[in-house]
């Protein structure tokens, strides 16, 4: 089976766990974009299949899951975004980091960037972190994305509400590198390494 940009209906059937005729029906109905080669064979582009599976809440198989190490920061405090970005890139240079300054822009960022982990400010103009969290968790294709809410003030009632909305962790600003290390280890794919530990001094 190939996982190149153009796949046969049999390849797609194996990835989706369905019969090839089911894939043909999807293509014929227009719900899964496809095209015909000069020889009359059906082909589906990888990007179209990814979008099809994500919008229907289908789990992405390992062959299709993008090998990404991405963090999104949603915060209207530019200084905090800069500090957190510097902290992450210094300790974990393999990360890709993108940011959004408000809750409305967060939706487009999360959908296009497909991060592993989101640091989400709670108090923002327009759409607050509660609503952003609710909308992200309403989409099954983001079930594996970690959501860490960060705020300058956190009450027990807020913490409980965030947990009910699906936030994985809540942190109070300012936080330290040791607070986010377990979250990176949990949500970012294996292979992301921080700086090597300092060598132990030689025995006397």
pLDDT for res 189: 66
Q: In the chain, what are the helix, strand and coil shares in percent, each to the nearest 5?
A: 40, 15, 40
Question: Checking phi first, is residue 130 left (phi over 0); if not, alpha (psi -120 to 50) or beta?
Answer: alpha
pLDDT for res 59: 73
Would you say residue 191 has pLDDT above 50?
no
User: What are the pLDDT digits (tens) for 63-120?
Assistant: 665 566 899 999 999 999 999 999 898 878 888 999 999 888 998 888 888 899 999 9
170-199 CB burial, b ≥16 within 10 A, e <16: bbebeeeeeebeebbeebbeeeeeeeeeee
User: What are the pLDDT digits (tens) for 13-71?
Assistant: 998 989 999 999 999 999 999 998 888 888 998 878 888 887 887 877 766 655 668 99
pLDDT for res 33: 93
pLDDT for res 123: 87
Query: Which residue from 139, 138, 146 is spatially nearest to 56, judged by alpha carbons?
Result: 139
* Cα atoms found within 13 Å of the Cα of residue 45, Cβ hemisphere only: 6
Distance CA 134, CA 166 (A): 7
- Tokens 């975004």 appear where? 81
Residue 22 structure tokens: 């089911």
What residue ranges define each of the domains in the chain, with the CATH number in brackets? 6-55 (1.10.1660.10), 70-187 (3.40.50.2300)
Distance CA 15, CA 2 (A): 10
Would you say residue 190 has pLDDT above 60?
no
DSSP state for residue 196 in the 8-state scheme: P
Would you say residue 197 has pLDDT above 70?
no
The pTM score is 0.63
More confident residue, 81 or 192: 81
DSSP state for residue 1 in the 8-state scheme: -
pLDDT for res 121: 94
Strand locations in the chain (E): 6-7, 35-36, 42-45, 70-74, 96-100, 117-121, 146-151, 169-172
User: What are the pLDDT digits (tens) for 122-150?
Assistant: 988 888 999 999 999 998 878 889 999 99
Least confident of 4-18, 166-180, 187-201: 187-201
Neighbours of 9 (CB within 10 A): 21
């Amino acid at each position: 089976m190939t996982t190149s940009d153009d796949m046969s209906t049999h390849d797609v059937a194996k990835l989706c766990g369905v019969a090839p005729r089911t894939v043909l029906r999807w293509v014929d109905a227009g719900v899964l974009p496809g095209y015909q080669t000069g020889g009359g064979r059906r082909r589906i582009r990888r990007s179209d299949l990814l979008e099809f599976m994500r919008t229907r809440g289908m789990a992405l198989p390992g062959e299709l899951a993008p090998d990404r190490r991405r963090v999104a920061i949603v915060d209207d405090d530019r200084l905090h975004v800069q500090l957190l970005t510097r902290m992450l890139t210094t300790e974990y240079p393999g990360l890709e980091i993108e940011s959004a300054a408000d809750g409305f822009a967060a939706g487009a960022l999360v959908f296009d960037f497909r991060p592993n982990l989101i640091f989400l400010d709670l108090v923002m103009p327009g759409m607050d972190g509660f609503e952003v969290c609710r909308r992200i968790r309403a989409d099954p294709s983001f079930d594996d994305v970690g959501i860490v809410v960060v705020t300058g003030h956190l009450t027990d009632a807020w913490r409980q509400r965030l947990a009910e909305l699906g936030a994985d962790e809540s942190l109070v600003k300012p936080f330290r590198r040791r607070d986010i290390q377990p979250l990176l280890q949990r949500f970012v794919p294996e292979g992301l390494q921080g700086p090597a530990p300092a060598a132990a001094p030689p025995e006397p």
